[in-house]
Amino acid sequence: MVYDIKGKIALITGGAAGIGLAYSIELLQNGLGGVVIADVNAATGEDTSAKLNEEYGAKKAVFIKTDVTKADQLEAAFQLAISTYGTLDIVINNAGVMNDAHWELEVAINCDFKNLLDVPSMLEQNTSLSAWTSRSERYYYNLTGIRFLTMCPGVTGTPLISEADKFALVGYPNLGKLLAEDLGSLPPQPTSNVAKGLYTMLTTGENGSVWVSEGGQPVYEVEIPDRNTLRKN
């Protein structure tokens, strides 16, 4: 599989900062035609898109304030891609939070892909999608031609990790401290390494493939075991 991203249009949720921002930079450096940054943080998002336009050329990035838990806002982000660039090729479902005190919001942002997948234009417009493996079933792929690829970053230097100890479940003694120790014991990496991995995954990954980027090392693909191989006896 070789997928050329030159001239393609991407939408990145949570793209104002952190790993999402590194994705925009990596893809624009490799010839991406344009990127819609859909993030709930308007101040950072506007600033980020202005800087990307300065660096990579006018209209390479547009920002739209988007809360991914709101279907209408997500749909508006898709519409912005179409009205600005005339198409949408790549969706990167990257927005995420770590705040166990607000676990319902955490689940809604991190795990509920219903809103994303309900947007009909995706099925018509996209040729590539980074989201969730269950949608990579051959049935959907044959119907739409959309690849579903999954990136699993290891510990990567963003506030989500550096401040994780403050946002662990409340009421459990030392949980935040133990979490920080656990995360601190894993090899760290800059956001640019995940972004390099994303580029490899996007340009070479087969539908349904799952990739790991950790410790500043080259990205690698993992095999998810067939459930029949999991039986103990």
Ligand X SMILES: NC(=O)c1ccc[n+]([C@@H]2O[C@H](COP(=O)([O-])OP(=O)(O)OC[C@H]3O[C@@H](n4cnc5c(N)ncnc54)[C@H](O)[C@@H]3O)[C@@H](O)[C@H]2O)c1
Residues that bind ligand X (CB under 6 A): 13-14, 16-20, 39-41, 66-69, 94-97, 109-110, 153, 155-156, 158-161
SS3 percent helix, strand, coil of the chain, rounded to 5, is 45, 15, 35
Give the whole-angstrom CA distance, residue 164 versus residue 106. 13
CB of 71 to ligand X, least distance (A): 12
CB of 185 to ligand X, least distance (A): 13
| Complex with ligand X: residue 125 or 158, whichever CB lies closer | 158
CB of 124 to ligand X, least distance (A): 23
- Alpha carbon of 81 to those of 9, 61, 78, 100: distances in Å? 8, 10, 5, 33
| Complex with ligand X: residue 76 or 141, whichever CB lies closer | 76
CB of 205 closer than 8 Å to CB of 211: yes
CB of 214 to ligand X, least distance (A): 9
Beta bridge partners of 65: 39
Give the whole-angstrom CA distance, residue 122 versus residue 116. 9
CB of 155 closer than 8 Å to CB of 182: no
| Complex with ligand X: residue 44 or 144, whichever CB lies closer | 44
| Complex with ligand X: residue 72 or 124, whichever CB lies closer | 72
| Complex with ligand X: residue 32 or 40, whichever CB lies closer | 40
CB of 231 to ligand X, least distance (A): 29
Give the whole-angstrom CA distance, residue 207 versus residue 202. 10
* Minimal CB distance residue for ligand X: 96
Phi, psi of 76, deg, nearest 5: -60, -35
